[in-house]
A and B are shown apart, each in its own frame.
Chain A
Amino acid sequence: MEIQITDQEKAVVVAFEGDIDLESSPKARQALLECVDRKRPVLVDLSGVSYIDSSGVASLVESFQAARKGSQPFALAAVSEATLRVLQLARLDKVFTTYETVADGLDQAV
């Protein structure tokens, strides 16, 4: 799994590429929490994620909660059908703010 973090004008965008699973989720968790630590809106680009498991979802939940504590916007962008299915199974599909694309998320200032 590859991670790219970019500081955009309106938000920190963290983009993942590959599978977020038991092996890679500690790295994903660390990157997400690091982004939240920047005290800016966080937009998670999931367009390159082919698979996410419960440990990956747990990383998203933990980061979302950390952002909420600091009243920072935290949203997901470009959620694939496979990722959406896992969020639905976890009953989290209505919890996260989601955007069709990263550009949409940035337009809405997350």
Chain B
Amino acid sequence: MRECHPAGAGNPAEGEPLLHMRVPALAGGLKDIRDAVRKAVLGCGCSDAVTGDIVIAVDEACQNIVRHAYAGEPGGEFIVEIRRDGDSMVVLLRDFARVVDPNSIRPRKLDDLRPGGLGTHFMREIMDDVDYQEAPGTRGNLLRMVKRIA
């Protein structure tokens, strides 16, 4: 289900690569991604709590790609990359779907008790930086998230 890809998701100069996987944009593939992220981040010496948080943030970001960027479009793929850059874990998610307006991806207010819209809030709550950047080429989106671990 996963394969290495020569092209990185983001700037290859940014720290030591810990994980690089190209995966199909399917809900059924998210568990494999969570397992790989957990292994990579734990292997870097992060605590169980920090690792668990990073797994949640990456999982929710991947869900956004599956549900919203590709929105059921078959054959979609994306790249998950994690790098250690000093005291930061850098997560890069690169898809090849239609370009999504970052302004349309906002966390909802939590004071209104209703289902849905929590994923983006989780990402922003857990990570120190969540930044939608311009992807190289004409298609796709690049999400860069940073968690400081020191």
Residues of A within 8 A of B (CB): 19, 21-23, 51, 53-55, 57-59, 61-62, 65, 82, 85-86, 89-92, 95
Contacts and interface: CB of A to CB of B under 8 A. Distances in A.
Contacts of A54: 60, 63, 116, 118-119, 122
Contacts, number: 64
Interface residues of B, number: 26
Contact of B63 (A55, A82, A92): A55
Q: Is the interface of A mostly helix, strand, loop or mixed?
A: helix
B100 to A, nearest CB: 17
A92 to B, nearest CB: 8
Given A54-B60, A54-B63, A55-B63, A89 B121 contact: yes
B44 interface: no
Nearest to B57: A89
Contact of B66 (A22, A51, A57): A22
Nearest to B52: A82
B69 to A, nearest CB: 14
B31 A21 contact: yes
Interface of B: 27-28, 30-31, 34, 49, 52-53, 55-56, 59-60, 63, 66-67, 110, 113-116, 118-119, 121-122, 125-126
A55 B63 CA distance: 9
A55 B64 CA distance: 11
Given A23-B30, A54-B63, A65-B113, 19 more contacts: A19-B34, A21-B27, A21-B31, A21-B34, A22-B27, A22-B66, A23-B28, A51-B55, A53-B63, A55-B63, A55-B119, A57-B115, A57-B118, A58-B118, A61-B113, A61-B115, A85-B53, A89-B122, A90-B118
A102 B32 CA distance: 30
A-B complex: 7 closest residue pairs judged by Cβ atoms: A58-B115, A54-B118, A23-B27, A22-B27, A54-B119, A62-B115, A61-B115
